[in-house]
Amino acid sequence: MGGAKKRSLKQIERQQTLRSKKDQQEPRKRRTEATAADRLKGGISLPGVEDKELVAELAKMKAITPYVVASRYDVRLSVAKNLLNSLQQRGIVQLMAGNSNLKLYQFTG
């Protein structure tokens, strides 16, 4: 058992001098908090469901997965999943196979 050994007086003095030097120096700059727009960046750049470029791009793909859509449009995976669900409800893509981990879609037009 045991644990860490007790520090010697020399080590304790060294720690105190280092702390006092740090306190005398300028305080560190803190990171600025990200604004809400910066945090939601992944969800903003995705084209709309009615966008013809998006539909044309999906028509070229043999297999459509949320990961492919997320990497192609540089969005979060959850945003890509929501997009594919809305496209499925509109009849643009059809769910071919999948489980809770992976869903595979095919373009139907």
pLDDT tens track for 14-51: 999 999 988 888 666 676 666 655 555 544 455 666 67
Least confident of 41-50, 59-68, 94-103: 41-50
What residues does 97 pair with on adjacent strands?
A: 104
The pLDDT of residue 24 is 84
The pLDDT of residue 43 is 47
Residue 79 falls inside a structural domain: yes
The residue segments making up the domain with residue 74 are 46-107
Question: Number of structural domains, the chain?
Answer: 1
Residue 19 falls inside a structural domain: no
Of 79, 85, 76, nearest to 103 (Cα)?
Answer: 85
Query: Can you tell me the mean pLDDT for 75-88?
Result: 90
Residue 22 falls inside a structural domain: no
Residue 50 falls inside a structural domain: yes
Q: Are the C-beta atoms of 72 and 63 separated by less than 8 Å?
A: no
Query: CA–CA separation, 94 vs 104, rounded Å?
Result: 9
Query: CA–CA separation, 108 vs 1, rounded Å?
Result: 66
Helix, strand, or coil here: 48?
coil
| pLDDT over 90 percentage in the chain | 32
Of 9, 72, 27, nearest to 84 (Cα)?
Answer: 72
